[in-house]
Amino acid sequence: MSQQPTAPPSSSQNSPRMRRIAHLDMDAFYASVELLRYPQLKGLPVVIGGGRRREDDLLGRLRVAHPEQEWSSEHLHQIPLDFFPRLAGYTGRGVITTATYAARQFGIGSAVGLMKAAKLCPQAILLPVDFDQYRHYSRRFKAIVTDIAPLMEDRGIDEVYIDFTDVPGGQREGGRVLARLMQKAIFDDTGLTCSVGVAPNKLLAKMASEFNKPNGISIVQEDDLETKIWPLACRKINGIGPKADAKLKSHGIETIGQLAAREQQWLMDTFGERTGAWLHAASHGQDERPVVTESEPVSMSRETTFDTDLHAVRDRAELGAIFTKLCEQVASDLQRKGYVGKTIGIKLRFDDFQIVTRDQTIDHFTADAKVIRQFAGQCLKRAPLQKRLRLLGVRVGALLKAEDAKAGEVFASHPPTRHGADADDLTGQLF
């Protein structure tokens, strides 16, 4: 582990600041959001899974069962416990998205089948998913984080990396003071708890955030490697999946410490240069990846699945209209987000589920619907079109921020004259 080479020197002290990176992850996220509206379930085993939430159904059933009371979405906290569906007797193929900590004691959690979970903990309450609500709270907690520390990397619905290095107070007690402040601000605003790991880099911070879950903080310093990291299973390294883990095990490597004990050269010979070097660095707690505040899209695409399969020749008019609309949508996405691209491609899925893609890189950047339509049309000519189509997609890749493209004078909003024919002329024989 080393200090970030680009870290600016401290202005108030002479000693350089240590790089401090936090990983913050919400506790039992979906389940905790559900408990906000059903606080009567606190402390009970609850699992989230199965179908989507239909509040009207629930309220309708309540009105029948308890007509003496008024039932609307403001009364959810009054729903009697015996009214909630239990896992017992569940049949179906659903899986658990997450479970409360009370439910986890029974050995159930994310990705476990609901039928299996029903055997392990039949009394658990089963609630359906409500993604809109989870996204709402996801945005809220992230807004609180960036209010306190602006360098935040979004890593999914319930977790972020945060660069504490230059945030006031970010170095105090190794980051614990700032982590505590964030936990409190998030809890005060949302009623949700989270766990935070603070470490010299993202790799260690991610592991550390799990050490004291739920509602915990864990601080990892460079010299904690041997005691806190090396005893852990290799799988705890974010990036070592089940396949890599199995291969490591086949060589007798179970823990990160055992991995660290292997020669870098041996790892490179066994796992390939890149992976071997990375395994070596990771096992020694080294990771220089920066916290990336806004992820840059690689490509933008739009696709549509047809209600009934369409045929390139027989349904030409209809497909042509859909194709043009997709190009217009991609163009409008690019323009709205301020990007231009130079690789234009299509994706087709046939009625036998075979997928075909074709793309073409042009000599200028564009976000223009007509240009996209023209070159996507040319891609289409290179695709086999005998079978019926189930899906059609249009993609623009090799993206650049529009202002960067302009600065480099590689931007063109209209096709160069040699491609100047009307897009419909070029693709007309197909659609």
Question: Which positions touch Mg ion (CB under 5 A)?
Answer: 25-26, 29, 158-159
Task: Look at the block and give the residue holding tokens 């708890």.
Answer: 193
Catalytic residue among 159, 296, 318, 328: 159
364's tokens: 């200028």
Backbone region of residue 7 per phi and psi (left: phi > 0; alpha: psi in -120 to 50; beta: other values): beta
Q: How far is the CB of 135 from ligand TTP (least distance, A)?
A: 12
Q: How far is the CB of 320 from Mg ion (least distance, A)?
A: 44
The binder of 97, among Mg ion, ligand TTP, none, by C-beta within 5 to 8 A per type, is: ligand TTP
130/163 with CB nearer ligand TTP: 130
Q: How far is the CB of 104 from ligand TTP (least distance, A)?
A: 8
User: Distance between the two ends of the chain, CA-based, in angstroms?
Assistant: 58
Task: Give contact residues for ligand TTP (rule: CB under 6 A).
Answer: 25-30, 97-98, 110-111, 157-159, 213-214
Using CA atoms, how far residue 383 sits from 230, 250, 349, 387, in Å, is 52, 44, 11, 11
Q: How far is the CB of 126 from ligand TTP (least distance, A)?
A: 14
Non-local (6+) Cβ contacts of 188 within 8 A are none
Q: How far is the CB of 210 from Mg ion (least distance, A)?
A: 9
Peptide linkage before 5 cis (omega within 30 of 0)? no
Q: How far is the CB of 20 from ligand TTP (least distance, A)?
A: 21
Query: What CA–CA distance (Å, rounded) separates 416 from 91?
Result: 61
28/399 with CB nearer Mg ion: 28
29/230 with CB nearer ligand TTP: 29
> 319: how many CB neighbours lie within 10 A of its CB?
21
The binder of 213, among Mg ion, ligand TTP, none, by C-beta within 5 to 8 A per type, is: ligand TTP
208/326 with CB nearer ligand TTP: 208
31/346 with CB nearer ligand TTP: 31
194/334 with CB nearer ligand TTP: 194
Non-local (6+) Cβ contacts of 162 within 8 A are 21, 22, 23, 24, 145, 149, 151, 152, 153, 182, 291
100/171 with CB nearer ligand TTP: 100
Query: What CA–CA distance (Å, rounded) separates 42 from 31?
Result: 10
The binder of 238, among ligand TTP, Mg ion, none, by C-beta within 5 to 8 A per type, is: none
The binder of 380, among Mg ion, ligand TTP, none, by C-beta within 5 to 8 A per type, is: none
Long-range CB contact pairs, 196-199, < 8 A, 24+: 196/22, 196/23, 196/24, 196/25, 197/22, 197/23, 198/20, 198/21, 198/22, 198/164, 198/174, 199/20, 199/21, 199/22, 199/23
Question: In the 8-state DSSP scheme, what is residue 297?
Answer: P
Active site residue 159: yes
SS (H, E, C) 280-292: HHHHCCCCCCCCC
Asked if 47 contacts 95 with a C-beta cutoff of 8 angstroms, the reply is no
Query: What CA–CA distance (Å, rounded) separates 265 from 345?
Result: 41
Q: Taking CB positions, which residue lies at the least distance from Mg ion? A: 159
The binder of 214, among Mg ion, ligand TTP, none, by C-beta within 5 to 8 A per type, is: ligand TTP
The binder of 111, among ligand TTP, Mg ion, none, by C-beta within 5 to 8 A per type, is: ligand TTP
Task: Look at the block and give the residue holding tokens 């960036």.
Answer: 146
The binder of 98, among ligand TTP, Mg ion, none, by C-beta within 5 to 8 A per type, is: ligand TTP
Q: How far is the CB of 96 from Mg ion (least distance, A)?
A: 14
Query: What CA–CA distance (Å, rounded) separates 323 from 377?
Result: 9
Would you please indicate which residues are annotated as catalytic (active-site) residues? Answer: 159
